[in-house]
Amino acid sequence: MTRSVELPALFAHLPEIFLDGYCPDAPWALLGEALDEVLEQLPSESIASPLHPEVHLAGDRIVIGKGSRIAPGATLEGPLFIGSDVDIRAGAYLRGGVWIGDGCTVGANTEVKRSILLAKAKAPHLNYVGDSILGEGVNLGAGTVLSNFRQDGLEISIGGSGGIASGRRKLGAILGDGVKTGCNSVLHPGVVLGSGSEIYPLVQLRSGVYAAETIFKLRQVIEEVEKRGLS
């Protein structure tokens, strides 16, 4: 596995609203003041899709586009932007300032905190997405966790000690367009993964910059032992 300090290709079509705040050399900075400025521009409330009475809204500045489906039991805290034709399933929890692009999916009992999901990104099954950016068409396998906080609470460096200082104590993963993760994979705080890459099930990626169009596999040895009765 090769790590590089040069950031790989990430996003082919970043929404215009984010262009001024985007720095290719520090894409995680988009989750700071740039995201705040975008969310501050939202109206107090603009909901273009019907909501079930058991959808829970909290806070101010909540926007939901046309054709979006919000299942009963979902909790949506503003500021929050949800685009058109988005699927938010039962028990989903969106909080902390979230921007969800058109055609995205946030699955049952999935939590999204302080994150950006670009068009058609999917976190569909029991995922945690914290302080992260998901590029277009990203798909997280069931149980994938994008961890966003070091156990010691210190600033997150991309690549660990001696890596690129992020200036953030909370930072999950920056996933380029088309990234796919396998079931129960875990990305440690400060992962930057290039577009088109795939992570196989159960893989753990430590903080670092990883190339585009790469497959990450976990090899394990399984031992079969004959079950014998008690003597």
CATH assignment at residue 121: 2.160.10.10
Is residue 230 a part of any domain in this protein? no
196 lies in some domain: yes
- The per-residue pLDDT for range 116-130, each reduced to its tens digit, is 999 999 999 999 999
Which domain range does residue 121 map to?
A: 16-216
> How confident is the model over 43-47, as a mean pLDDT?
94
Whether 137 maps to a domain, the answer reads yes
Active centre residues (catalytic): 125
- H-type helices in the chain, by residue range? 16-19, 33-40
Total-model pTM: 0.94
Domains in the chain: how many in total?
1
**196 DSSP assignment:** T
Q: What number of CA atoms fall less than 13 Å from residue 115's CA on the CB side?
A: 32
Kindly report, residue by residue over 67-108, the tens digit of the pLDDT: 999 999 999 999 999 999 999 999 999 999 999 999 999 999
Measure the CA–CA gap between 63 and 50, rounded to whole angstroms: 12
The reply to whether 228 falls in a domain is no
In a domain, 134, yes or no: yes
Kindly state whether residue 224 falls inside one of the protein's structural domains: no
Quickly tell me which residue has 């099930």 as its tokens. Answer: 201
